[in-house]
Amino acid sequence: EGPTDADLMNDAASTGDVLTYGMGPQAHRFSALSAINAGNVARLVPAFAASLGGEKQRGQEAQPIVYDGMIYVTGSYSRLFAFDARTGEEKWQYDARLPDGIMPCCDVVNRGAAIYGDKIIFATLDARLVALNRHTGKVIWNKQTADYQAGYSATAAPIIVKGKVIYGNSGGEFGVVGAVEARDVNTGELVWRRPTIEGHMGALNGKDNGITGKTNATWAGDLWKTGGGATWLGGTYDPETNLLFFGTGNPSPWNSHLRPGDNLYTSSTLAIDPDTGVIKWHYQTTPHDGWDFDGVNEFIPFDATINGKPMKLGAKADRNGYFFVLDRTNGKFIGAHKFVMQTTWADGFNAKTGRPNYIAANRPGAPGAAGEKGGSVFASPSFLGGKNWMPMAYSQDTGLFYIPSNDWGMDIWNEGIAYKKGAAYLGAGFTIKSIADDHIGALRAMDPRTGKIVWEYKNKAPLWGGVLTTGGNLVFTGTPEGYLKAFDAKTGQELWKFQTGSGVVGSPVTWEQDGEQYVAVMSGWGGAVPLWGGEVAKSFKDINQGGSLWVFKLPK
Ligand code: PQQ
């Protein structure tokens, strides 16, 4: 009863439902549906909206799951809602009872659930994984995955592969140790665990399964014990190579002068065997990161012919401002293309070594001997990234990636810091600033074969929502100003917009139901920008909060 492993693997091709975060394990966020298309999208109207209610609102970053006449969405403050997909009527709601003292760094968000059999599964801000009966909302199992009092939390959608629910952790600003874990989807029992920081021991079926990396070779002293590298955005899966791809976050603390070395495997993409939790390859996008350039962003498998050779590739638009193309069978570097206005920290990548050409003068200065503030530098992108968590989409029709990106910078400086359990562990200070008069956000169409931007759409506020592309030659994404917008996938021309009443920071989906195509997105402004955006946050302080699911279709 309910979706099977085979159904999840087939999600990209099955147009009648949306079973996985990413609309397929490879997370292309592409649907072949074309009933709504560039020729008629201007007529798109709401079918219904559903409120998440509650006194507390904040960021609604979820991607809906659609199955068997139901829409499942997660909400802020670790809530999960089941709505009737034809009427929007609420069928049930689950509210996690969150303890005092949770420490999410960047708003009380959640990005979505995973569905399997009779279960719907999601992660909570107190670092639990909860499986509910999808018909009733009753708890089937509920597991503590990490210690929230040490700063661990969870915000990402889990991924289910071969009967295992696989997920990451959050807490990189508190000196946690990143990890990827797999549990039996039916019982919630741990199957394997893979820490992301060199020196930590992995586990498989209750036994040790080898340490990560080569002891703690790329870390100084004991710093590997609190090294960060949180896997806070979850992962993608490629059935062709049988590899999971998980990104890892910033090293802890932010102050890079305190931790000489590459600090493996922070700010990297890891390819992991889903059966054992063993790391098959890694590629580090920002070795020895000093700007909070988490490498967590989604790594999307795709195939293309490069220099006359058909290749199995993968792409990631990194927080550091570069779009990476790797050979996904072995992690070999193919190319890194700048997709933002400015990258002050590096001037491209070395094609042979795959390492950045650092501009040493643009690393924030070392703090003084007594921990006094070091020299401040202007750095771009800002620590919120050329692209943050909001997922890009890949069109199998146009061969283009659609990247929700941002052009901004920051003043950043370092200061002394010592690790203390449950306390912020940065050793840095910062203020985010605009670098252009007319925009921060830019939706960019990237050709992964050439590294060229084919078109761009500029938006005044930072873009903070996911992207969807369809066989109707369309690209959908939301804006903090409250609009869900549709663009021509080939030209970038804006074709349609709808005001949802609050900022859109969710990820849109599409499916077919009773012979009609639907589009759905969450509305509700929040996430890291209003909390950490400095001068930028001040300019957008008037955006209203909210919490609604909006569903659209063409009029009959
Ligand atoms: N979350 C957001 C958001 O939802 O808007 C933005 C960020 C996070 C960041 O910019 C982060 O650096 C970040 N870092 C961690 C971490 O290092 O553990 C976790 C999260 C999160 O779980 O949301 C974010």
Q: Which residues are catalytic?
A: 292
Tens of pLDDT along 326-343? Answer: 999 999 999 999 999 999
Q: Say how far apart CA 225 and CA 216 lie, in whole Å.
A: 9
Confirm if 248 and 230 have CB atoms less than 8 A apart. Answer: yes
pLDDT at 55 over 90: no
501 in Cβ contact with 525 (< 8 Å)? no
For residue 390, give the 3-state DSSP assignment.
coil
Q: With bands split at pLDDT 50, 70 and 90, how would you rate the model's confidence at 307?
A: confident
Contacts of residue 55, Cβ cutoff 8 Å, sequence gap at least 6: none
Q: Quick one: average pLDDT of 85-101? A: 97
Query: What average pLDDT does the structure give for the chain?
Result: 97
Task: For residues 233 and 112, give the distance between their C-alpha atoms in angstroms, rounded to a whole number.
Answer: 11
Residues near ligand 1 with C-beta < 6 Å?
A: 61, 105-107, 109, 155, 170-173, 230, 232, 249-250, 294, 384, 388-389, 527-528
422 band by pLDDT with thresholds 50, 70 and 90:
very high
pLDDT of residue 216: 86
For the sheet with 309-317, list strands across it. Answer: 300-306, 309-317, 322-327, 333-338
Pocket mutation for ligand 1, best pick of 63, 106, 425 (most atoms within 8 Å of C-beta): 106
Ligand 1 centroid from CA 496, angstroms? 30
In degrees, rounded to 5, the angle at the alpha carbon of residue 283 between the alpha carbons of residues 326 and 169 is: 115
- Going from the Cα of 397 to the center of ligand 1, the distance in angstroms, rounded, reads 32
| Separation between Cα atoms, residue 106 and residue 40, nearest integer Å | 38
Q: How confident is the model at residue 271 (pLDDT cuts 50, 70, 90)?
A: very high
Residue 294 has pLDDT above 90, yes or no: yes
Give the ligand 1 atom nearest the CA of 109. 4
By alpha-carbon position, which residue is closest to atom 8 of ligand 1? Answer: 106
Whether 5 contacts 162, CB under 8 Å: yes
- pLDDT (tens digit per residue) in 424-450: 999 999 999 999 999 999 999 999 999
Pocket test for ligand 1, best of 58, 103, 291, 294 (most atoms within 8 A of CB): 294
**Peptide bond between residue 116 and the one before it cis (omega within 30 degrees of 0):** no
Tell which residue, 289, 296, 347, has the closest CA to residue 317: 296
Distance of alpha carbon 7 from alpha carbon 28, whole angstroms = 16
Q: Tell me what the mean pLDDT of segment 404-433 comes to.
A: 97
Q: What percent of the chain has pLDDT over 90?
A: 97
Average pLDDT over residues 214-231: 94
β pairing state of 30-31 and 467-470 = parallel
pTM over 0.95? The answer is yes
What mean pLDDT comes out for the span 480-490?
98
Q: Provide the pLDDT confidence category of residue 127 given band limits of 50, 70 and 90.
A: very high
Burial of 44 (0-12, 13-18, 19+ CB in 10 A): buried
Nearest alpha carbon, ligand 1 atom 17: 172
Distance of alpha carbon 196 from alpha carbon 160, whole angstroms: 20
Only one residue has tokens 């209750």, namely 206
The pLDDT value recorded for residue 321 is 98
Q: Residues 495, 484: contact at Cβ < 8 Å? A: no
- Report how far apart the first and last C-alpha atoms of the chain are (Å, whole number): 33
Q: What is the pLDDT of residue 236?
A: 98
Question: Which tokens sit at 466?
Answer: 């996911």
- Determine how many CB atoms are found less than 10 A away from the CB of residue 497: 17
Kind of pairing between the strands at 139-144 and 356-358: unpaired
Report DSSP state, residue 535: H
Q: Ligand 1: which of 77, 153, 246, 388 to mutate, most ligand atoms within 8 Å of CB?
A: 388
C-beta of residue 66 within 8 angstroms of C-beta of residue 88: no
Model confidence band, residue 215 (pLDDT cutoffs 50, 70, 90): confident
